[in-house]
Structure 1
Amino acid sequence: MTDTAGKEISPAAQLQIKALLDEKESRTPAQQKIDSQLLYAARARRGDALTAMVPDLVVDVDADETGTVTVDITADVSRRLLSQIRNLGAEVLSSEPNYHTLRADVSLDRLEDVAGLPGVRFIQPKQGYLTNQLNSGRMPSRSSTPPSAPNVGNFFGNQPRYQQIISDLAGIGIGGPTNDLIPNGYTGIGSANAEGVTTMGAYSARGAFNADGTGIKIGVLSNGVVNLATSQASGDLGAVTVLPGQTGSADEGTAMLEVIHDIAPGAQLYFATGLPTITQFAQNIRDLRTAGCDIIVDDLGYFVESPFQDGQVGTTNTNGGVVIQAVKDVTDAGALYFSSASNSGNKNDGTSGTWEGDFVSGGTLALIPGGGLVHDFDPSAAVAQSDLLTLGGGGTNPVTLNWSDPLGASANDYDLFILNNAGTTVVASSTNVQSGTQDPYEQTGSNTTNNRAVIRQAAGAANRFLHLNTNRGRLSFSTDGTTFGHSHVDNAYSVAATPAYAPFNFASPPTFFNGPYPALHGITDKVETFSSDGPRRVFFQPDGTPYTPGNVSSTGGVLRQKPDLTAPDGMEVTGVGGFGSPFFGTSCAAPAAAAVAGLLKSANPALTPAQIRSALTAPALDIETPGVDRDAGAGTIMAVPSFISAGLTGRAFLELNGTTLTEAGGNGNGIIENGEGGTLLLNLKNTGPANATGITATLTTSTPNVTVTQGSSAYADLASLGSSGNNITAFAFQTNNLVNVDQVISFTLTVNYTGGWNASQAINFTVPTGRLSISSVIDAVAPTTSASFPTAVTGLQTARLFRADPASTCAAPHAFPGTSGAGNRNYDAYTLNNPVAAPVCASITILTDKTTVDFLQVVAYSGSFNPVSLGTNYLGDIGASPSVGYPKTMSVTVPANGTVVITVNAATSATSIPIPYTLKVSGLRLMAPSAAGVSVSGRITLDGRGVPGIIVKMADDGGAVVTARTNSFGYYRFDGVATGRTYTFQAAGKSHIFEPRILTVLDETELNFNE
C-alpha cells in the first residue's frame, strides 16, 4: 500500500514537536539519564502537562496504580548503590554486577533521585522481548486437546493429529494410494508428533544413517518450561536438564524441546530461560555452552538488540549488543547456534513493517527554526515526512528506531514521533539524548493502525543508515531487512519458516501457502507470510570499530545473507500449559533446524561447524526467488541430502510408501464388513543411499477377531534413494462376525533384507474397515453417492445454527442452540439408516480441506431435514466450526431402526467459492444382521485359565431360557440369537459363581466372564 495522504506534517503537529524538543533541551543532567518514556509517565503521574502544547502522550511504560514501575538500570552495581536505591523506597528485583545492570521496582516520583545517585548511568523501562510463536485463527487457539467425546467407531478415533490427517488425506487421494494412518510406518514419540519429522525426511535419515542425536547435547532458550513434567509424563519428552533457577515462565520452551525430541530423540536436552532480562539471556547462552551443549537454539529477541553491530565490549546504556556478543563468543568456540528469524513479515509478501535505508532529508519544519530535518520515506521524487502504519504491531510491541552509530558512542541525535492519521497530533514520542556516550536507539508506544511515524534528525547530526521497525506491524513505505539482533551473527543460523502441513493465516490478505505433509518439502513451497526477511547490513565490530571506516551508509558495512535457512513450522505439540498447537512461527522452525544439525553431528561428531553449515545449506531445497534469497536463505533443510552432502555413510532403509486395500470374499460393494476379508498390497520405498536386496516380509495383526490368512511375501530388490515396489504375493486377512463395526485393524510388517543396518525391520500401520469416508465440495452440485453414502442431496438452507463448543456427544447431547446469520447457505445432506432394532451411537467426523478459505458446520437430524426450519428433528451439531485442515468429531444417538440426516453447510452466506471437505460416519452398520440371528460367544476364565464345564444360561426378555456348557478351554457359544432384544446371562459351576450380565444384543457379540 502506498500512502497518498498526510505527506507533510501539519502546523499543529509541528508546534507540538517543537514543544517536546524544547522540553528535551531543558532536561537536567539527572533527567538526561532517564528514558523519555519514564519522564513523560512521571509528569503524567504528578498531573502535570508534558508541555503547554502537549498535555499528554501514550507512553511505553507499565506503571501500576501506585505509580510504581519496573525499570532496568545501567550502573556500576555495588552493595552501596543497591542500599541507596532501597533507601529511596525501591525494591531491587535482580542485579548482575558483571553486566553493570540491575532491575528494580521504583516509584515514578523517585526516578530522578535514583538517577542522581553516583554510578547510575541510565534508567529505562523494563526491556521488552518477543518470542516467535503465533496462534492462527484457522487453528485450535490454545490447546491441542479436543473436547471429550466417546471413542465410538474409528475414523480418527483417539489417534494423534498427524495420524488423523494422514487417514483423511489418503481417503481423498492425497499422499499416495494409501489408507494407512501413518505416512511411512513411523510410529512417533508420545502423544503429539512434529510433522517435520516426515517433511524434512528426518525419519528417513535416522534409519538410513543410524543416527538419532545420541551423544549430542542441545540447549534451548525460550520463555519457560513450567509444565515440562506433564510433557514427560505423556512420553513426549525424556530427561531434560534445566539450569538451576532457569525454568522461566510459560511453556514455549517445552514446545521447542518436543519438536527437537521428535526429530532427534537420542539427543540430550538442556534448557535455560531467556528471561527476565537481556543480560540474563546472554549469561544463559554462555552457561549452556559451559554445560557442554554442542548446539544451542532460541526463539526470542529483545527490542533493544542492535541491527548494526556484532556485539559489544563493556556496557552501554541499553546493552543492545550483549546477547549478540554471547552468540558470537559461543559460535567462535565451536557451538552451532540457531535462532528464529522472527515473525515481523517480509517485503515480498507485503507484510513488512520495516523501513531501512539512508536518511534522506524531507525538509525542515517551518515552525521549528533550527530544529533539524525530518526524514523522507518516499523512494520516489515525491516527499513523505511520515510513514503510515497500515497495520499496528500489537498493544505491547513498540515502534523502534536504530541508526548506524556504534553502541555507547552515538553523537548524532535522532528522535522518533508517532502522529495520528491526519498528521495533526503527536500521540507518542521518544526523545532521548545522544551526546556521544549513548546507544543509537529510540523506542515508543502507540504502535496502532493508521498512526504515522516521523523521524527527526537534530541540527548538526550526520546522515546515518536507519532501521525503523514496527515489530509485527506494517508500513505504507516499507523495505526488506526486517530480521535483526543476535541471529545476524556471522556464524549463527537465522531460520525462516515454511508450513509443514496447513499454513498460518492472517485475518486479512496476503494469501497463505500450504505445506506438503505427508509428503516431503518441495521447491514450490513458500515461506510463511509472517517470516522476517533479510538481508542484514552490519556496520560495526563488537568494539565499535567500523567495518568500512568513513562509510556507514547503504554502500558501507558488511551485507550478510540472513535468514540462512528455512525449516517447517505449524507442527503438532502437546500444548501443555495452554500453549497453542499447532506450533506456528519461526519459533518452531528454529528447533527443527537445530535438531537436524543434531542428527548430523551424532552421525559424525568430528564434523566441523563449517562442514555442518555446508551440509545443511548446499543441498537445501531452493524455494522462493531462485538461488539464495532474502526470504528463505539457502532454502529448506532436507535431512537425507544433508547427510549425503556431509559424506556420511548410509545404508538401505525401507519405509511404507502406500497401502492398497481390496475387499475379498465379501458382497462386492468394496467395503470390508463383519465376516469379510481383504487383500493388501504394501508398497515399500528404499529411502537410504544403498540398495536393499533379498527382501522378504511377514504380516501379523494384534487386532482381535482378525486373522492373517496370507502373511508372507517376497519383494523385488529396491535400488537406493527412492526405488519402490509392492509385495509379489498379496497379503490377505479375514475378519469374523465378532469384529467391531468399522474396526481399525493394526498390522505389523516385519521385513528382512540385506543392505540395511539391521537384518530385520518392523513397520507398524493400520487399515480402517467398514463405511468409507466421502469427499465432496459445498457447491451447487450434489455429492456422488456410493454404498457408504447411498443418498445425498444439495441445496440452500435458511441461516445456520449458532456455533459454540463443545460438540454434541451421545453422552452429552445438545439442546438446539438456535440460529444465527442472515441469508442462505449451501448445504449437502446425507441420509443413513440404523438397520438394528436398538439405538446406536454414531460418530461423525468432518475435515475441511486445508486450501479452504471458509468454515463449515455439521448438524445431525432424526428422520428428515427441513432446510427452512433448522430446529425441526434436531439431534446434535459439531459446535464451533472445525479448524481448517484439521478433523473434528461429534456423536449422536440414532434411534432403533431409525434414520439420521447429516448436513454439512457453509458458515457464511451462499458463495460461488467451493469448499472441499471429507466426511466420515462410524458406528452404523451398513446392513442389518442376518435374519437367522447372530451369535453370542465368549470364554470363562479363572486367573487367566479357561474353566471347563460351566453352565451358561441365556434368558430373553420374555422369560425363555437356553443353556450352553463351556468346553475344555472355557469357551461357550449361542447361535441364532435375535437382535434388538435384551438378555440376562448367568454362569455357574461347582464352587464358581459369576455376576449376572444384562445385555442388549445388536450384533455378533463377545461376552466373557472371569472370577
Structure 2
Amino acid sequence: MPKGGKPMQHRLKYALILAALPLLASAAMAPTTAPTTPSTPAPALLVKLSPQVAHIAATVETVAGRMLQTRSLNAQQQPYGPAPLAARFNSNGQVQVYLHYNTQQGAPAPATLQSLGATRILTSPELGVVQAWVPTRALYRIAALPQVARVTIPRYAVPARNLAPIGAKPRSGSVDTQGDALLGAAQFRTATGLDGSGISVGIISNGVGTISGSTSSDITQDQSTGDLPTSPAPYVDTAVNGGGSGNEGAAMMEIVYDMAPGAALGFCGPATTVDFITCLNNFAAGNGGFKPTIIADDLGFPGVAMFTDGSFATAVKNFAIANPNIQLLTAAGNDAEQFWSGTWNPITINTTISPSSTSNTNAYTYTQAQNFGTAGNPLPYMSFPVAASDTVTYIVEWDDTWPLNPTSSTPNDPNDYDVFLTDTSGNILACNMGITPSPAPTSSSPPPAPSYCNLGSNYGTLTSPGPQPVQGNQYVNGSTQQTLQLHIYKRNGTPGTNLKVLVFANNHSFQLIPNTPAGSIYGQSALPAPYELTTTAISAADAAASNFSIEPYASEGPIFFSQPSTGTSTRQKPDFTAVDCVDVTGVGGFGQNNNTTPPSATFCGT
C-alpha cells in the first residue's frame, strides 16, 4: 500500500492486532424536560443508590452538583476523557447510569423510563442492567420504580495504551508497519497467496475519529492515502455509543489492512461494559451486513472483579460459547508497573480520621495498616509520582465474596478496608471510608489535612464497602508534580487477606513503589483460552535485534483467583506475544503533526 510523508512522533502502544496474524492465516440526543426533584427520599429508596449516585441526587441544583457536572463535561473534551470511575454528564443535565434489575421481575419498560426523561436506553440481559442517560432530578423517581433494584455508575472502558513516563519524550519510528516483516506476514502472503480474503475482523476500541452520519473522519483520510480499503469500506457500528470517540480503532484497522489486505473490516466503539457486550452481539447478528470471524479489542474496565470472573467476564465467556465460529482476541493490558498484589501484612498504627472537616462525631482510630515494606523496615504506604494537572485513579480489591449482580437486597460486605491517598505530608487528598467515596472537592472545600477525609454531609455506612469488596477513587492533581502515597487501613470485620491494587493516571505512566507485575491481567483479558486469546507485547526494535523480552509495562500472569466458596486457583495468561511500537500512517486526527503529510504514529502497547 502506498505510504508517504515523514514519520511523526507519538507514544501509544500496539501489539494486539499484530498478534491476530496466525488467526487470519489459519482461518483462510434530544433535550428532555426533567421531572422536579422529590422530597427527601425514604431510607428504602436511598439503599438502591450507589454512593456516587446518591451524592449526585442529593446535590442537584447545588453549587457542588453544578461544579461536578461542569468538571465532567470539561474532562470529556480531553484526549482520554474523564477517569473511569467518574460519573459522566451531558449538556442536557443527564447522567449515565446502570439500572440493575431482578431477572425474575424483568427490566423496567423503556416507555416508563422515557416518561421520566431517560434517553439512549440500552438493555443488557447478559449483565442484568439497563443503561440510560437520565436527568439528575429524576434519579429518585427512577430508583423508586419497582423493577429497579440498584442504580450505579457504569464501568467505563480504558484503552490498553502505554502512556509516556512523566517528563519523557515519545518514541519515533519509520512509517512502515514493522510487524508485517517481523511476523513474516509479507513472506506468508507471497508464499501462499493468502491475504485474508474471506475473513472478517471486527475491532473494538475507543473510536475512529469524528463520526458524521455514517462517515468517519479517520477512515475517510486513511482511504485517501491507501491505508484502509474503499471497497468494501470498513463498517462502523454507530448504534453503540455513537461510534465511539478517539482514534485507536482506525490505527488498529490500519495494522490489519497492512498484514491482511483482503480481510473485511468493521468497528465498534463502546464506552461501557454494556456497550461492549452490545458490540459483540451486534457483530454476531451481522448488523450492517458485517459478521466477523475474529473480534479483537484493546479495552480494560477498571473496577470489575479481579479475584474471580465477574458478571462482565462471564458474559463475554458466554458469548464465546454461543458463537464458536467467532474467535475473540484481546490485549493483556499495560498495567504491570502500576499494579500490586499481596497478602494482608499489618503493622500497628494509631491514626484517628474523621469523615467530616467540621465534626469529630464519627471519627475512627485505625490501629492496623498494610505494611508494604518488611518487618525490619516497615512501610505503611505505597508511593508514586503524579504529573501536574493529571488525574490519578486507584482501585483496591480483596477476596471476599463478589456478588455477580448486586441488588437492593444484596447484603453489604461486613468486612472493610479503608483507603487514603495523601501527599508526603500526610494530608488526605482522596479517600474511601466505608461505603461512601469522597465527593469531588469544590472551590469552597476546606484544605486537605491528615485528620479528616472530607465526605461532606451525605456519607452513609462507614464500616462496609458496599455489596462488592472494592474501594476506589480519583484525585485531580494541581499545577505541580508531586509524590503521592496510598494507605490501606483495616476498618471492620475480617476482610479477605489477599489484596490487589491498580493505580493509573490519565496522561502519564509511572511505577508503583512497591510493584508486583504478576497477575496484572483482569476482566475479559483474564478469561481462559479458547474463550479469549490474550496477547502481550515485545518491542519491535527488540524483536528485530532478536531480543524477545516482554515489555516492562505489559501486564503479566499468572492470575491469582480467590473466593470463599471456591478457594484459590491460578490461571496462566497471556496466551502468546506479538510486537509493539510499530508505525502506522493516516490515523485520522490522531496525534497529527502539521509537518507530516500524511501523518504517522508509533503504537506501543498490547
* TM-score grouping bracket, smaller chain normalisation: 0.5 to 0.7
1:212 to 172, 189, 195: 195
Q: Output the TM-score relative to the length of structure 2.
A: 0.66
1:31 aligns with 2:46: yes
Q: Sequence identity, in percent?
A: 19
Structure 2 vs 1, CA of residues 280 and 447 (structure 1 numbering), >3 Å: closer, same or farther? same
Indicate whether 1:245 and 2:239 are aligned.
yes
Q: 1:116 aligns with which of 138, 144, 154?
A: 144
Query: Quick one: distance in 2 between partners of 1:357 and 1:131?
Result: 26
* Residue pair 2:293, 2:327 contacting (<8 A) in 1 also: yes
Secondary structure at 1:534 match in 2: coil
| Residues 64 and 97 (structure 1), Cα distance of their counterparts in 2 relative to 1, 3 Å cut | closer
- Rounded Cα–Cα distance in structure 2 between residues aligned with 1:423 and 1:29: 37
SS of structure 2 residue aligned to 1:257: helix
Q: Equivalent residue of 1:398, what SS?
A: strand
**SS in structure 2 opposite 1:33?**
coil
| 1:673-752 correspondence runs (5 A) | none
Higher RCO, 1 vs 2 (CA within 8 Å, ≥6 residues apart) = 2
Distance 1:459 1:431, change over 3 A: closer
Distance 1:401 1:79, change over 3 A: closer
Do the aligned partners of residues 108 and 422 (structure 1) sit closer, same or farther apart at CA in structure 2, a change above 3 Å counting? farther
More divergent stretch after superposition (322-331 vs 225-234) = 322-331
8 Å CA contact retained: 1:497, 1:531? yes
Name the counterpart of 2:569: 557
Partner of 2:101: 75
| Residue equivalent to 2:560 | 537
Q: 1:94 aligns with which of 93, 115, 121?
A: 121
The correspondence of residues 295-310 of structure 1 with structure 2, limited to 5 A, is: 295-310=294-309
**Cα offset for 1:445?**
0.9
Conservation of the 8 A alpha-carbon contact between 2:195 and 2:262: yes
> Structure 1: how far apart are the matches of 2:266 and 2:90?
36
Determine the C-alpha separation between the residues in 2 that align with 1:422 and 1:40: 29
Q: How much does 1:325 deviate?
A: 3.1
Distance verdict in 2 for CA 1:582–1:488, change over 3 Å: same
* RMSD value, Cα: 3.9
What CA distance in whole angstroms lies between the structure 2 residues aligned with 1:417 and 1:109?
31
The aligned counterpart of 1:416 is 419
Which AA in structure 1 matches 2:321?
D
Partner of 2:512: 475
Question: Which of 494, 500, 510 lines up with 2:534 in the alignment?
Answer: 494
Q: Which residue identity is paired with 1:398?
A: T
Match in the other structure for 2:428: 425
Does 2:425 correspond to 1:398?
no
| TM-aligned CA deviation for residue 466 of structure 1 | 1.4
The equivalences for 1:42-191 within 5 A come to 60-62=86-88, 68-75=94-101, 82=110, 85-86=113-114, 88=116, 90-98=117-125, 99-108=127-136, 110-134=138-162, 138-139=169-170, 162=174
Q: So what's the TM-score if we normalise by structure 1?
A: 0.41
1:450 to 476, 483, 500: 483
* Number of residue pairs aligned between Structure 1 and Structure 2: 463
| Residue of structure 2 equivalent to 1:338 | 329
Structure 1 contact 420–427 (Cα < 8 Å) conserved: no
Matched, 1:354 2:339: yes
Aligned partners of 2:556 and 2:573 also within 8 Å: no
* Native 8 Å contact 1:30 1:116 kept in 2: yes
Is the contact between residue 309 and residue 406 of structure 1 (CA under 8 Å) also seen in structure 2? no
The 1:67/1:280 distance shift into structure 2, 3 A limit, reads: closer
2:38 aligns with none
Q: Distance in 2 between matches of 1:560 and 1:394?
A: 38
After superposition, the C-alpha distances for 1:956-1007 in whole angstroms (9 at most, x for unaligned) are xxxxxxxxxxxxxxxxxxxxxxxxxxxxxxxxxxxxxxxxxxxxxxxxxxxx
Distance 1:582 1:445 in 2: 30
Q: How many Å separate the matches in 2 of 1:560 and 1:219?
A: 26
Say which SS state the counterpart of residue 253 (structure 1) adopts: helix
Gapped regions of structure 1 (runs ≥ 5):
1-26, 51-57, 142-160, 163-191, 313-319, 347-351, 501-514, 590-1011
- Aligned partners of 2:222 and 2:588 also within 8 Å: yes
Secondary structure of 2:255's aligned partner? helix
- 1:444 Cα deviation after fit: 0.7
Instruction: Give the distance between the partners of 1:321 and 1:439, measured in 2 at CA.
Output: 16
Q: Who wins on radius of gyration, i.e. which is larger?
A: 1
Distance 1:201 1:257, change over 3 A: same
In structure 2, give the amino acid aligned to 1:524: N
Rounded to whole Å, the distance in 2 between the matches of 1:372 and 1:325 is: 42
The separation in 1 between residues aligned to 2:188 and 2:64, in whole angstroms, is 65
CA apart distance, 1:257: 0.8
Q: CA deviation at 1:222?
A: 1.0
Q: Is the 8 A contact 1:224 1:248 kept in 2?
A: yes
Alpha-carbon deviation of 1:251? 2.9
Report what 1:267 is aligned to.
Answer: 263
Structure-1 separation of matches of 2:419 and 2:207: 33
SS at match of 1:446: strand
Distance 1:453 1:303 in 2: 17
Give 5+ residue unaligned stretches, structure 2.
1-41, 66-82, 209-215, 353-362, 405-411, 436-460, 593-599
2: CA distance between counterparts of 1:280 and 1:558? 29
1:566 aligns with 2:566: no
Residue 574 of structure 2 corresponds to residue 583 of structure 1: no
Q: Secondary structure at the match of 1:259?
A: helix
Change (3 A) 1:402 1:525: same
Contact conserved, 1:497 with 1:528, CA < 8 A, in 2?
yes
2:219 counterpart of 1:221: no
Which of the residues 508, 513, 523 maps onto 2:546?
A: 523
Change over 3 Å in CA distance of 1:528–1:126 after alignment to 2:
same
After superposition, what is the alpha-carbon deviation per residue over 1:406-461, rounded to whole angstroms, capped at 9, x for unaligned? 43167353343323332233534364379798333222111655232233444223
Whole-angstrom distance in 1 between the partners of 2:319 and 2:389: 28
Q: CA deviation at 1:297?
A: 0.8
SS of 2:580's equivalent in the other structure is strand
The CA distance in 1 between the partners of 2:350 and 2:580, in whole Å, is: 48
> Within 2, Cα distance between the matches of 1:121 and 1:87?
19
User: 1:254 offset after TM fit, Å?
Assistant: 1.5
